[in-house]
Amino acid sequence: MKYYAKIISLNDDIEEEVVLSLGEKEICCFINSAPYALIEKNIYLVELSLSFLDEELISEVDCKTMSFNRIDESFSYEIIGFLSGNQLITDGVIFLEEFLFLDSKYVILKPDRISVSFL
């Protein structure tokens, strides 16, 4: 999904790490592509996607409370959201993902990282 996001911080030690603000939600992302120099506090058009490095960890849940929580200081997140068509609707963020076997259900998933491409 495409968003306008403000860069909160760039990591000096891990050059692919960026913390973005999407309004009230801050997300630590892995930079997939940035065809230009990035500047903290500037706003950019970005595209966010979920990345699973090994296998997709997703399952149906009974909980109907959406949440979006970072796991420790990693790129990983635990996300509870609602799948509708090709949209995963979470707490403040929507991802375009296709998990057709769980359509119209609440799910929990743990992507290894949230990737960002600067457009």
Among 14, 117, 110, CA closest to 53: 110
Q: Count the neighbouring beta carbons within 10 Å of the beta carbon of residue 24.
A: 7
pLDDT tens profile 60-107:
999 889 999 999 999 999 999 999 988 999 988 999 987 778 899 999
pTM: 0.90
Q: Is 95:87 a contact under the CB 8 Å cutoff? A: yes
pLDDT tens profile 7-46:
999 999 999 999 999 988 999 999 999 999 999 999 999 9
The pLDDT value given to residue 22 = 94
